[in-house]
Structure formats: C-alpha cells, structure tokens
C-alpha cells in the first residue's frame, strides 16, 4: 500500500468521505446527519478493483477524525465502521 498515492476527502454535498488511489475514486464512507449533532455512518464501500489493499481503515479513520474535529458524535449502522471501532478503542468516545 505504501507505493500508492492515497487521499481521503469529505464530499459534504454527497454526505460521504471518498478515498482515492492515484487520483481514482476507490471507495466511500457515507453518513446521514441526525439530530443532536450526530453523523450516522451507514455505508462503506471499496470498489472491487481496489479491495484487499487495506483502504477501508484509512477511509474510516479520516471520516472519524473529521467528525471529531467538527465537534460531532457518531452512530454506526455500518458493519465496517463497527469493526473499525472494535479494533480502535481511541475512537469509542465518539459514539453517541
């Protein structure tokens, strides 16, 4: 993965975080705003052509870091985000 140019950007209009590899969209983590300043992360997808490269972790991490910086909390109705939270205790304080 280190030889790839990976970036994650927040597409606020589409309510999702997008991971790109070498300038190509590789996946996204979408959310729905909820009351009480909560983002409900409801779907994470990595395109079939990019699977197996470990992209979901940096994608979800960037989404949660942005959420923290915005002073928001999260709800997760996405199994990939749940899995990430179970492996990364330092993000559990974000759970509403």
Please give the pLDDT value at position 4. Answer: 76
Please give the pLDDT value at position 3. Answer: 60
Taking the C-alpha atoms of residue 14 and residue 4, their distance in angstroms, rounded to an integer, is 25
Q: Which two tokens stand for residue 82?
A: 């749940």
The answer to whether domain 6-94 has CATH 3.30.1490.20 is no
Q: Which two tokens stand for residue 46?
A: 């990595």
Q: Which two tokens stand for residue 30?
A: 């979408």
* Residue tagged 């991490």 (tokens): 61
Kindly list the domain boundaries of the chain, sorted by start residue.
6-94
What are φ and ψ of residue 7, in 5° steps? -140, 155
Please give the pLDDT value at position 36. Answer: 86
DSSP codes joined into one string, 5-18: -EEEEEETTTTEEE
Q: What is the pLDDT along the chain (96 residues), one digit of tens a residue?
A: 456 799 999 999 999 999 999 999 999 999 999 988 999 999 999 999 999 999 999 999 999 999 999 999 999 999 999 999 999 999 999 999
């Amino acid at each position: 993965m280190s030889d790839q140019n990976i970036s994650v950007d927040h597409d606020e209009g589409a309510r999702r975080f997008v991971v790109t590899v070498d300038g190509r969209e590789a996946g996204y983590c979408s959310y729905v705003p909820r009351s009480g300043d909560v983002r409900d992360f409801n779907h994470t997808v990595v395109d079939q052509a990019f699977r197996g490269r470990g992209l979901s972790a940096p994608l979800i991490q960037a989404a949660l870091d942005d959420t923290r910086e915005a002073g928001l909390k999260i709800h997760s109705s996405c199994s990939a985000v749940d899995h990430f939270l179970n492996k990364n205790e330092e993000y559990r304080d974000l759970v509403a």
